[in-house]
Structure formats: C-alpha cells, structure tokens
Structure 1
Amino acid sequence: MARNMAKLCFAFRYNVVIGSSTSIMGPSIPQSTKDIFISHLASYNTWALQGIEYMITQLKSLILSMGLLDKHLTVEHAVLLSRLEEEYQIQRWGNVEWAHDYDLHEMRSRTAAATLFVHLCTESATVKHKLLQD
C-alpha cells in the first residue's frame, strides 16, 4: 500500500506513466517518461548525479530516491519501503540482530549521506551585506 502511494505521488509529481510488472523483464517505459527524466536529471550537476546514483544503488529504486530528494519521504521510511521483503522475512522467521540490524543501520546511514550530499551539491545561497548607518 505504501509503495503504491509513493508510486502514485511520483507519477503525479513528474507527470509520468509508471507501469508495474510481475516478470523479470520489468515494465515497458514510455519514451515520454524517459524524456522527462533525462531532462530532470540533466538539471543536476555532476557531483549531485553521483550522489543520486549512489542513493538509487542503496534503495534499488529511482522512485524512492526521487521521493527522498523531493522531501516527500524520510530516510527511515524510504529504507523501510526498500526493504519490504526483508522485513517480511524477519517477521516470519525472526531477526538476527548482528546481521539484520547492522544492515538496516548501514543502509540508513548510507542513504542519509547520499541525500545530504545531493542537497549540499544543489544548494545555492547568496549573501547580502547590509550597510551600517550611523
């Protein structure tokens, strides 16, 4: 449910069509959707694109990564959605603290670092100096 909601928000925000698939081949993506993302990603500088690539690698999802960059998701929520299958298996079979907890915290820290890196690479600030009057 939460994953579908993220997908709907993503499709609405970027005005794209995102399909789903039950096969290993994945959904067919319309050319217009590809063009929108080529244009959107071209607006980032090279350093920010490196951070986005790292974030997508961590979350294994462009949709979750863009939701995180657009500040619609928190790092914790994006990581939870990315790990849905693993969380299900943990609930069913139990948690191995030294392995599962370590993986969770490592993924959160890497995703947070990538998000911060992208935001810092794309942030622009101007400083205005005021003249002091006597």
Structure 2
Amino acid sequence: MAAASNSPAGDNRRPSAFRPGDSVSRRVLEDVIRQTASLYSFETPTDPADLAPLRDVATKLKGADFGLEPVVIELVTAMLRRQLKGLWTSEEQLSSVAGRVAETLFENPETSERLEKLWARLNAEVA
C-alpha cells in the first residue's frame, strides 16, 4: 500500500493559488528578479542593447508617471521578452511572470527607487 501524501490530489479544502505564470519554476523566477534588479541598478556597465527595449517603452509611454502600472510592468515585460526569449509558451504566461516580477521589484523600496531613476533617465533620453 502506498504511503499517504500530505497533499492528496483530491484535497479540495485549500483554494488553488496557481496562476498561469506558475509553470515557470521558482528558481527561474528568482533568477529573473535578480537579473532584472541587477540591470536596473547600473552598478555594472549595461549593454546598450539591453536598454533599447526600455527606450521603446519610454517612447510608447512618454510622459507617464512612474508607477507599477503601466510603467514598471511594461519595462519588466520588455526585458523579459529580450533576455529570456523562447522561454515563454504564450503571451499570457509572459504577462503573468512579468506582472509578478514587476510587483516584487516595485514593492522593494531599494529597487523601486532605482526603477524610478531609470524611468526618469529613459524619459530624458526620449524627450
């Protein structure tokens, strides 16, 4: 007889917190957050090609106030689309992961401040 599982497949007592982006492993998500935060820190030289998609977002959202929506989400989506090309099975999955990463970065005071400075810099470049 098989040992009882701590979370049987038929256990309906707990609500499902599973979202479309959850098919990406936690390790991948943490790596994406770390890489994205590193890019936004400007502590190391940034590849100009990495900034091109961000400039495109600044052009698209020219004059938009800094905030989670749409600015941070659009910036993160642009970076994920470029840096992790081919990882996504759908635009819905990319949007879900980008939203989660953007929220994590935005809620952290240090990365939020860096993102706001980045946004100001990008806006100045496209002005």
Give me the TM-score of the superposition, normalised by structure 2: 0.32
- Pick the structure with greater CA Rg: 1
Of structures 1 and 2, the one scoring higher in RCO (CA 8 A, sep 6+) is 2
